[in-house]
Structure 1
Amino acid sequence: MRIIKWLAGTGLAALALNAMAAPPPDLAMTRFPNASTTFSTPVAIRAPNDGSNRVFIVQKGGTIRVVKNGTLLTTPFLTRAVTTSSESGLLGLAFHPNFGKPDLAHNTEFYIFYTRPAADERLGTSPDQVVARYTVPTPDSDVADTNGTIVLRIPDLAGNHNGGDIHFGADGYLYISSGDSGAQNNPHGFAECLWKKPADSNRNSCGTNPSGTQYYLLGKMLRIDVDTRGGTATADMCGSNGVNPLEYAIPASNPHTGTSNTCDEIWSHGFRNPWRWSFDRANGRMIIGDVGQGNYEEVTVEAAGIAGGLDHGWSRCEGRHYFTTSGSGTNCPATTSTIAPVIEYSHAAGDCAVVGGFVFRGPIAPMRGTYFYSDSCTGKLWWADSTLTPTWDAGGQNDTGLSSSGIYGFGEDQAGNVYVGQGNGQVFKLTSDFIFEDGFEQ
């Protein structure tokens, strides 16, 4: 490692410790785990909080691979059949907070989000999007049991706009993102509807049209309690359709539990396709990359500790601009009472689909608080200072200039290092020789 001297107690040291959250000048994308390893469409990189030094690579085709102590293991962690057409596939992985901890309950459990095979029974006209629970034989196992249990089902009518990213929050509940069904321009109003409705090309028929196949939980962020099982499903537990015995409960503090004819799993709504999102491990913020329609992409934030029930605006707004609501300009949230993005960018430069990333909380001290994200069409790797308020893009976007291939997903390991998964199968770790702590390089 290069030796770079920073003098504690001097103006230079103070400048280094109080600078904006930004990448160091030698930020690099280092091939992971080595220069010769290629994966198949890596859409997520995850690691349990178990001290095992393992990194799990989620491949869209249905296989999860394990990198342990820097070596790719020969046997996959899990392989299951999925539908892979369009944006469908194996899309999410979340380890139970107790995973790998022998003395705690649920220490062998993890959850995945995937599109069911086309031959499976379905609730809508397209294969279901589902959350399933799997286990490992022992907490330190590198190969999972092959039989899983479906926990939650979402009916769908197209192969795109699936969301599919899942994470456990600091509250111990599982959060799930879902897309608005794939129909362009949100003609059915699924993103706004808190209840059930058919694909009737009517945005205003939420809960009023009982005819036809009913769709629900689309264009949402969901929150469920996966540790409480076997209860009796209520009429407002929409995702429990076809799941018996019941595999989850509704947290009592979910925002719609006090009303009837609202799906109680819903945490927030008004999303088009929240394809990739994350929690900031330092403060619990939820940071969501929501793929736009034809003009604008956006990243929005929900602070930790809120009561839920926020409306993120689609399809009245696309980013900070009006879409189906009358008006012009960038003040859409001000007139619709929806959530304004912290980042918005247009398609003018060929960008077309935001990929939400992670706030860096790893060992490169000056980079802590830097949010990394991308666009899958141009492959640009951007960064933003997440300590800014109210927006992170007041001065425009910051391009690292490091990537030229489409990025499909991000991840972090137990230490907080950030990883990048590209559509060409390559996975990278963000690295730097500038590792400062207390004013000195380590």
Structure 2
Amino acid sequence: MRTHVLVAATLAALAFGASAAPPADLALVRIPDSTTTFSEPVAVRAPKDGSNRLFVVQKGGVIRVIKNNVLLATPFLTKSVTTTSESGLLGLAFHPNFGKAGLPHNNEFYIFYTRPSGDPRLGSQPDQVVARHTVSPSNPDVANPTGTIVLRIPDLAGNHNGGDIHFGADGYLYISSGDGGPQSNPHGFAECLWLKPADNNKNSCGTNPSGTQYYLLGKMLRIDVDNRGGAVTSDMCGSNGISPAEYSIPGANPHTGTSNTCDEIWSRGFRNPWRFSFDRADNRMIIGDVGQNTYEEVTVEPGNSTGGSDHGWSRCEGRHYDDASGTGTTCPATTSTVAPVIEYSHSFGCAVVGGFVYRGPLPSMRGTYFYSDSCTGTLWWADTTGATWDSGGLNNTGLGSGGVYGFGEDENGEIYVAEGGGEIHRLAPNTIFTDGFED
């Protein structure tokens, strides 16, 4: 019967042009129950290992496990982190081979966090780092507490850390980093491809050797964490103080082979790409980049991208030139930067939270992108089949929520919402077909 229902739904969707949209009776279902709360959850992640487990990343440094809809008493991992401002434990990514017997790296996962204030640092504030941890085959619900630092990013403020990490379909690890925190990107970190001091000069990229050198800020990075153990080269900016290297540079990265560039850089021009995701259908990278004065934006890099794109900050905020008035309209026409697929003004919110494209079991909803704003908690949706996803304006699901900090998806493509107040919800369509069977 279920096969009949799904086939009928698919045919109906095709007959009506397969426009991606949520059903009218979409709901938020709290998990694992109506009473369990988490401490500042920022992400929900799931390994593709057949276990159907959900891992809740808490900003304070703890990862919890929901297994068979039950919250396990023992945390998966507890990490000492700095939690000032937007700092903390911010990202989690399971290796694509995680939990798959006989494959290499099948016990590895990666986290992004802010190191404790007492740890060695490269900049004036604690480093933002990516670390590798493992689990024991005897108990995959509890991680080994000792990890290995893979990559370090010097920082000079507690905000604009980015901190999301995901493996792409190419098997490489992608890492988002913010522009360092100071308003209006005064030092030009988001545009610079090489070493850069905090000198209030956007034009001194790679030319001013004085002071602490900051790098890899305001970027999307791509590294190969499987091929490691080699010598650290001068273009591996994230390996400062790490030897031998815990990653290598993919040969097809856009700045490989050029001198005076940090070759981990995949794309640039971000203010604070707090949450991003990959569409599992075509590997599009979808990035929510938090704006400053007037506009929030969501941008996309296609699945066949070769990298090297400039997303505009701080010349552009959304589709607008970031001049003194904030009213210019020359981006990206005169800047050759990536145009957002979604833009909204601060009359609707103040900090975009990038989400996921639904690829779950309901055919009519596949291709729908869900995202939010941490200041309002409004849950929006967008049809991703066009070039501009907000051509008809913002689409409100009507599902009010607390301030949203992050999203997640499980093995089946279902989407989860993490609220700053501590609740986790699953988006739950409750569609009934004419034959009386529920999808």
Tell whether the structures are fold-level matches, with TM greater than 0.5: yes
Aligned in 2, Cα 1:104/1:337: closer, same or farther, shift over 3 Å? same
CA distance in 1, matches of 2:418, 2:114: 20
Q: CA deviation at 1:434?
A: 1.8
Which residue matches 1:409?
406
1:101 counterpart SS class: coil
Q: CA deviation at 1:88?
A: 0.2
1:425 and 2:435 matched? no
- Aligned pairs (5 A) from 1:369-380: 369-380=367-378
Spell out, residue by residue over 1:250-290, the C-alpha distance to the aligned partner (whole angstroms, 9 max, x if none).
Answer: 00000001210000000000000000000000000000000
Contact 1:315 1:324 in 2 (8 A): no
CA distance in 2, matches of 1:27, 1:10: 16
Aligned in 2, Cα 1:238/1:35: closer, same or farther, shift over 3 Å? same
Q: CA deviation at 1:355?
A: 0.2
Which residue matches 1:231?
230
Q: CA deviation at 1:420?
A: 0.2
2:411 counterpart SS class: coil
- Aligned pairs (5 A) from 1:341-352: 341-349=340-348, 351-352=349-350
- Aligned pairs (5 A) from 1:1-400: 13=12, 18-138=17-137, 141-324=140-323, 329-349=328-348, 351-388=349-386, 390-400=387-397
Number of residue pairs the alignment of both structures matches:
437
1:128 counterpart SS class: strand
Q: Judge which range, 326-335 or 364-373, deviates more.
A: 326-335
1:332 counterpart SS class: coil
Give the gaps of 5 or more residues in structure 1.
Answer: none
Q: CA deviation at 1:404?
A: 3.5
**Cα RMSD (Å) of the superposition?**
2.3
Query: What amino acid is aligned across from residue 61 of structure 1 in structure 2?
Result: G
Spell out, residue by residue over 1:44-92, the C-alpha distance to the aligned partner (whole angstroms, 9 max, x if none).
Answer: 0000000001000000000000001111100000001000010000000
Aligned in 2, Cα 1:319/1:136: closer, same or farther, shift over 3 Å? same
CA distance in 2, matches of 1:42, 1:437: 39
Q: CA deviation at 1:19?
A: 3.8
CA distance in 2, matches of 1:185, 1:70: 44
Q: CA deviation at 1:9?
A: 8.1
Aligned in 2, Cα 1:8/1:365: closer, same or farther, shift over 3 Å? closer
Question: Normalising by the residue count of structure 2, what TM-score does the alignment of the two structures yield?
Answer: 0.95
Contact 1:100 1:140 in 2 (8 A): no
1:13 counterpart SS class: helix
CA distance in 2, matches of 1:7, 1:189: 51
Query: What amino acid is aligned across from residue 414 of structure 1 in structure 2?
Result: E
CA distance in 2, matches of 1:438, 1:131: 51
Give the gaps of 5 or more residues in structure 2.
Answer: none
Q: CA deviation at 1:8?
A: 8.0
Spell out, residue by residue over 1:141-170, the C-alpha distance to the aligned partner (whole angstroms, 9 max, x if none).
Answer: 100001000000000000000000000000
Aligned in 2, Cα 1:260/1:406: closer, same or farther, shift over 3 Å? same
Question: Normalising by the residue count of structure 1, what TM-score does the alignment of the two structures yield?
Answer: 0.95
Q: CA deviation at 1:120?
A: 0.3
